Structure 1
């Protein structure tokens, strides 16, 4: 029988004889509790970028990220991107963008890593089972705001680098970091900074990788496209103040009646968008492209159970995914100015504003779409013969992003996934919008890949956001494997 000392010695020699990357994996496994503790410290910083009272927390979060890159031996610039002005005239500084660099070997591949460390608002009274800013481990999951989106993935990158260094292994690539603190609030100041830095900081980057997305199922995935977004306001005003329905009902053209008719004219019960010409720029689906969707792992019945619904707009897996990623969609989000509280209130609102958005796909242009929407709604309104005042406005718009998933970087990503998970990656798109992917690709003209580590059920932007410990640790290994694989090019 082997003594403990002999067993430990044999284990030591086995580790020494294993490949350098296997040694990195072993180190990551051995230090996972340290990684969880660090994530707990990051989650405790309430870096809500949309809340001006938490701006100092966001700035502190950026400083913490910068200090960790310095600890890894990198150089860091906390880049000022100006101020943010609010509707009440208050002006506060935007959080700086962290631009970091580790390694300058001209013979090595240089990889740019993008991430963000700001979060969506969270309060326990919103329906959280645990304090959103106290990382809580339960049933193998790490619950806390930002655990999956995007503090956990950012830390996974830094931990992967730390593992190479702890084993005295030379990092096989040069790295550049772009970490921001305003992603959840429109990435204010980032586009301008990236354009300004394109001829300097970004100029020698070969590949750009982003880990701000999630798998579609329990199968690892690489993301090669996202939809864009146009957010619209449609405002109808009938009077200069709210009116009593007993005194004025039946005598005025009510703003709410007009608005509901306008919103109802946008999309039918099957999800088909009724705005003429909206599909004119959507690229036709080819047979070759449709085949890509057949092999993707996605369980329709499980998807319905998760949502607690009995029927979807489309019947097959392929059609559901195509309408989630490949085709535009329109969603109505709310009405401002209408009575929405408990109880009864017999008011005719003087002015109401409807809010809706359209998810764009490649080739669709926000300015053209805005013109189509405005023309259409004014036509519907004119046909009603209402004397009320109508205003249609594009609040903001961003284009879709899609890239070539057959390039070398995606090959490296697929090999890394096989190395860590022993399976082939699903190639997927995202139905949501991550504007920085298109900005980076358009600005640098370099390959951009999304390499997610989070799960489909992580609840990002929702109550009880989580990242499983398994995803966190194996995700760290995946990013280390990607570094090793991309260094071959």
Structure 2
């Protein structure tokens, strides 16, 4: 089935008003219900790009977004936004709806627009992340992600275990056997070359982690476990943010419905990923994983066939938390929340950050407003009204601080 192309939106909003923090904050506070109602209307549109049946909703979300931005005075076009009046602060938006499926084609679009849409862009702001605790935060790094499919194929069709169990070498048994060699019970990645590529933890980074507000007991309570892989804060944060991890996500082709069924699947496909960190290269990881699994599989002397495919190869991203963009962020957080932000990294993958960095060479900051307990991608994902409203004030203040960067550096 050929799916329709979902366009990205390139938009410019220009403003030249004097910065009046108190009046703007008062406006946000007095219009909270309108903000919440707008958010309610938007999240009601099920724009999940990982579900092909929801593609019409993705188009509806794009149309809704374009309409809203036009009401705000913005110019919305698919590609060419034309020349903009030179004012103290210009804000351009890139809005894209396919993040859950890897944002295929986004890098090509960015490359195409490098010398047009992005030609006069000084800084790039991303807000696709959240706080670590109740302390406001600025994010300066994300892990990448290599997502793999490991397929084992045997008989020409599914078989009944009563008739054939004990006579055939089952693909599921082979698959479980090789998956068990990816990682040890204590979290050590067993694939040769993976851990050796990781940049060492510096003393400065260790101190940054030590100073971050993070309660291990609350973290365990939030996710409902009695024990974690590591017992101290620095080790836990380091393995959450700046060390690679292997996660096994599921097995396609296996019986998973309620009840009992005694089938022997003829073909099963495991889905697993390895989070990437600085100094790791997805192309190298692809080769390491494929060579390793094939070598392990060969030792089983199975007549079944193994096929290993990497379907996502997203690189990690790392910024300098002392960059003027982050200094602007620190000032804005201090003004809105009355406290300094935690400087954190993100264990998840946000491919757009590395794409922007590689293609445009511009300064990038991640300015999160998501709450630490929002539960992204879980059954009860939410958005905190406090973070939503105060985050609106944060962006107001941050854009003002960004406008001061060139004035103070000229």
TM-score, normalising length: structure 2 = 0.91
How far does the alpha carbon of each residue in 1:104-125 deviate from its partner, in whole angstroms, 9 at most, with x for none? 326x3xxxxxxxxxxxxxxxxx
What stretches of structure 1 of length at least 5 have no aligned partner? 1-18, 80-98, 109-172
Secondary structure of the equivalent of 2:148? strand
Task: Give distance in 2, aligned partners of 1:353 and 1:60.
Answer: 34
Structure 1 residues 332-343: aligned runs within 5 Å: 332-343=248-259
Do the aligned partners of 1:101 and 1:175 also contact (CA within 8 Å) in 2?
no
Partner of 1:42: 42
| Kept in 1: contact 2:137–2:343 (CA 8 A) | yes
Q: Partner residue of 2:25?
A: 25
SS of the aligned residue for 1:394 comes to strand
SS of corresponding position for 2:187:
coil
Partner of 2:205: 289
> Do the aligned partners of residues 44 and 456 (structure 1) sit closer, same or farther apart at CA in structure 2, a change above 3 Å counting?
same
Ranked by relative contact order (alpha carbons within 8 Å, sequence separation 6 or more), the top structure is 2
Cα distance in 2, alignment partners of residues 285 and 468 from structure 1: 33
Assess if the C-alpha contact under 8 Å between 1:101 and 1:176 holds in 2: no
Q: Which moved more, 1:263-272 or 1:180-189?
A: 180-189
- Displacement of 1:100 after TM fit? 6.5
Deviations 1:355-387 (A, max 9, x none): 111001012111110111111111111112222
Q: Deviations over 1:414-448 (max 9, x none)?
A: 00000000001000111100000110111110111
For residues 60 and 245 of structure 1, do their structure 2 counterparts lie closer, same or farther at Cα, with a shift above 3 Å needed? closer
Give the distance between the partners of 1:436 and 1:274, measured in 2 at CA.
30
CA change 1:487–1:103 in 2 (3 A) is: farther
Partner of 2:230 in structure 1? 314
Q: How does 1:438-457 map to 2 (within 5 A)?
A: 438-457=354-373
Contact 1:74 1:101 in 2 (8 A): no
**Structure-to-structure mapping, 1:169-208, within 5 angstroms:** 173-208=89-124
| Cα drift, residue 392 of structure 1 | 1.1
- Contact 1:222/1:452 (8 A) holds in 2: yes
Q: Deviations over 1:20-74 (max 9, x none)?
A: 2111111111111221122222223232323333323222221222222222322
Aligned partners of 1:276 and 1:465: how far apart in 2? 37
Partner residue, 2:57: 57
Aligned length, in residue pairs = 388
Residue 237, structure 1, aligned to residue 153, structure 2: yes
TM-score w.r.t. length of structure 1 = 0.76
Q: 1:265 to 1:53 in 2, by over 3 A?
A: closer
SS in 2 for 1:45: coil
Instruction: Pick the structure with greater CA Rg.
Output: 1
Q: Which moved more, 1:262-271 or 1:27-36?
A: 27-36
User: Does the residue aligned with 2:404 lie in a helix, a strand or coil?
Assistant: coil
